[in-house]
């Protein structure tokens, strides 16, 4: 594809990613975002949480000023949900707020689309922590991190510090680049072949549900160098190593359950597509892969788990396979017949498919945001970052990984009381020589 054609495709995609209504810009939900409102229920909302721990106590009034100055730079986060006849949209939100508030123990609580203010983000503070919670319909963790980094930089500026615009810190005095607003999936959904979706029932954790709106959080804090040294010993990457540890923990848990019939153990892992397909989008641009181990084939040593995960990653994480996956996912939305089906019918079909197929396709979730880079001027003020995937749709645990400087944080979040998987996970790290500090909201 020559440069002129690529630029034409980009411009056409940007034009289709938003609509002008009454002089304002409305945003149709991107390919991933379409699913999240459909799954909304009283005890589940697709809310994730990103936070930064500073070295000095947060001043709420200054944080509110920083938020007021920063949010207009992110028009796809300064929105409310609007339901149409065929699709949902994000419309500009001119209501008062959002207002910073004291943090809560059970975070990532559901967001009602009809609540007062109708905001789809929350900003919390507690001690030295600034936390952003966002509904997944707005964007993925990369988009949310741009907002959190920019908000933190503006907060530090209001305290009198000189912070340049670099990495994820965006210039709040400039208009957003049109590419930040695009549904990037549609630009790259052009593979000649659509790979089939994985549809196999997997092991699910048996556990006691926590009381309504109770969130179980366990954090493991460790040295990046320690984990890298262990991964090097196993001749794999940090992501491959930590995926293998989680698979190992899930296998141990299934053995404890003594099931009548063992099932494959599988992890749902999002891949940041920006690594493979150029886009500045701050909306969703991820797809899922599913590293797995099938104990029905025999007992696996940890080394064998790592070898299988390593080769799985090499086979699936490449631009060819990922473009095919994007095309498979986009095919439904691009179908002319489905486009004219009323929204309430689409909701029933999507919700049923997710419950009966997609949700049964993984035993746990794992996401790795990687190493956070900030302007050098910000480094002295930051202790660490955290990320939480939010309350799972069904009883299981989710694991999120992020690092800053030499601090790697692994955040587990679940809605069940038992913590066997987390215990096996961190015990394995310690056995491999990694010193782990544990924190919990319990």
C-alpha distance from residue 436 to each of 115, 218, 229, 234, 303 (Å): 40, 12, 14, 19, 22
Same domain, 257 and 344: yes
The two three-digit tokens of residue 156, written as one number: 């530090």
**Among candidate residues 45, 20, 43, 16, the one with its CA nearest the CA of residue 31:** 16
Query: What does the DSSP 8-state code read for residue 376?
Result: G
* Residue 26 resides in a domain: yes
The answer on pLDDT for 336 being more than 60 is yes
The answer on pLDDT for 5 being more than 70 is no
The two three-digit tokens of residue 337, written as one number: 């017949």
Mean pLDDT is lowest, of 20-24, 112-116, 354-358, for 20-24
CATH number of the domain at 64, please.
3.30.559.10
**φ and ψ of 24, to 5 deg:** -115, 165
pLDDT tens digits along 412-442? 999 888 899 999 999 999 999 999 999 998 7
The answer on pLDDT for 155 being more than 70 is yes
Query: What does the DSSP 8-state code read for residue 137?
Result: T
The answer on pLDDT for 169 being more than 70 is yes
Same domain, 258 and 403: yes
Range of the domain at 9: 3-187
The rounded percent of the chain whose pLDDT value lies above 70 is 95
Q: Please tell me which of 21-30, 99-108, 387-396 the model is most confident about, judged by mean pLDDT.
A: 99-108
Same domain, 227 and 349: yes
* Residue 157 resides in a domain: yes
pLDDT of 124 reads 98
* Residue 196 resides in a domain: no
pLDDT of 436 reads 97
Binned at pLDDT 50, 70 and 90, residue 240 comes out as very high
Q: Are 289 and 316 in contact (CB under 8 A)?
A: yes
* Residue 424 resides in a domain: yes
* Residue 171 resides in a domain: yes
CATH number of the domain at 397, please.
3.30.559.30
**Strand-strand pairing, 19-21 and 47-54:** unpaired
pLDDT of 1 reads 53
- Number of folded domains that form the chain: 2
Domain end (from 143, 166, 187): 187
H or E segment to which residue 130 belongs: strand 129-135
* Residue 325 resides in a domain: yes
* Residue 194 resides in a domain: no
Same domain, 34 and 176: yes
pLDDT of 109 reads 87
For residue 283, give the 3-state DSSP assignment.
coil
Same domain, 48 and 145: yes
For Cα atoms 90, 96, 100, give the angle at the middle one, nearest 5 degrees. 95
Same domain, 281 and 429: yes
Domain end (from 145, 170, 187): 187
The two three-digit tokens of residue 95, written as one number: 């209501």
Residue predicted with more confidence, 400 or 197: 400
**Among candidate residues 409, 400, 414, 410, the one with its CA nearest the CA of residue 442:** 414
Same domain, 170 and 249: no
**Strand-strand pairing, 364-371 and 382-388:** unpaired
Q: Please tell me which of 135-139, 187-191, 344-348 the model is most confident about, judged by mean pLDDT.
A: 135-139
pLDDT tens digits along 16-48? 566 655 557 888 999 899 989 888 877 777 999
Same domain, 250 and 132: no
Same domain, 232 and 159: no
Binned at pLDDT 50, 70 and 90, residue 331 comes out as confident
pLDDT tens digits along 277-316? 999 999 999 999 999 999 999 999 999 999 999 999 999 9
* Residue 386 resides in a domain: no
Residue with token string 């002129």: 4
Same domain, 400 and 267: yes
HSE-CB of 171 using CA atoms within 13 angstroms: 5
Mean pLDDT is lowest, of 60-74, 222-236, 265-279, 324-338, for 324-338
Mean pLDDT is lowest, of 73-77, 109-113, 363-367, for 109-113
pTM attached to this predicted model: 0.93
pLDDT tens digits along 39-89? 887 777 799 999 999 999 999 999 999 999 999 999 999 999 998 888 889
User: What is the chain's mean pLDDT, rounded?
Assistant: 90
- What span, in angstroms and rounded, lies between the C-alpha atoms of 72 and 176? 9
Same domain, 261 and 323: yes
Same domain, 38 and 94: yes
C-beta neighbour count of 425 within 10 angstroms: 27
Q: Are 62 and 155 in contact (CB under 8 A)?
A: yes
């Amino acid at each position: 594809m020559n440069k002129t054609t690529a630029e034409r495709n980009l411009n056409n995609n940007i034009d289709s990613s938003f609509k002008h209504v009454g002089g304002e810009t409305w945003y149709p939900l991107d390919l991933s975002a379409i699913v999240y409102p459909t799954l909304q229920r009283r005890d589940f909302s697709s809310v994730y949480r990103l936070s930064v721990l500073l070295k000095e106590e947060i001043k709420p009034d200054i944080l509110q000023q920083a938020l007021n100055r920063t949010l207009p730079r992110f028009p796809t986060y300064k929105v409310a949900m609007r339901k149409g006849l065929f699709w949902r949209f994000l419309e500009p939100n001119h209501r008062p707020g959002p207002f910073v508030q004291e943090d809560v123990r059970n975070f990532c609580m559901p967001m009602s689309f009809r609540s007062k203010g109708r905001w789809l983000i929350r900003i919390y503070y507690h001690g030295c922590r600034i936390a952003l919670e966002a509904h997944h319909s707005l964007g993925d963790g990369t988009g949310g991190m741009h907002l959190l980094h920019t908000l933190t930089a503006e907060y530090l500026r209001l305290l009198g510090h000189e912070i340049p615009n670099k990495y994820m810190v965006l210039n709040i005095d400039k208009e957003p680049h049109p590419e930040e607003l695009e549904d990037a999936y549609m630009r790259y959904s052009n593979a000649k072949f659509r790979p089939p979706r994985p549809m196999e029932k997997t092991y699910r954790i048996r556990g006691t549900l926590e009381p309504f709106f109770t969130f179980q959080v366990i954090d493991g804090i460790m040295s990046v160098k320690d984990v890298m040294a262990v991964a090097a010993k196993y001749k794999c990457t940090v992501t491959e190593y930590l995926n293998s540890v989680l698979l190992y923990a899930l296998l141990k848990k299934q053995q404890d359950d003594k099931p009548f019939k063992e099932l494959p153990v599988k992890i749902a892992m999002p891949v940041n597509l920006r690594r493979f397909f150029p886009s500045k989008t701050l909306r969703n641009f991820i797809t899922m892969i599913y590293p797995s181990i099938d104990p029905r084939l025999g007992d696996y040593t940890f080394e064998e788990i790592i070898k299988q995960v390593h080769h799985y990653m090499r086979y699936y994480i490449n631009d060819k396979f990922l473009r095919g996956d994007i095309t498979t996912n986009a095919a439904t939305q691009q179908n002319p017949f489905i486009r004219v089906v009323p929204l309430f019918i689409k909701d029933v079909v999507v919700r049923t498919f997710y419950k009966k197929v997609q949700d049964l396709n993984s035993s746990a979730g794992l996401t790795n945001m990687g190493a956070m880079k900030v302007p050098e001027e910000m480094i002295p003020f930051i202790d660490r970052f955290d990320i939480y995937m939010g309350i799972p749709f069904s009883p299981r645990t989710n694991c999120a990984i992020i690092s800053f400087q030499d601090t790697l944080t692994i955040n587990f979040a679940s809605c069940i009381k038992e913590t066997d998987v987390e215990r096996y996970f961190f015990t394995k790290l310690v056995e491999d020589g990694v010193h782990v500090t544990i924190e919990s909201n319990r």
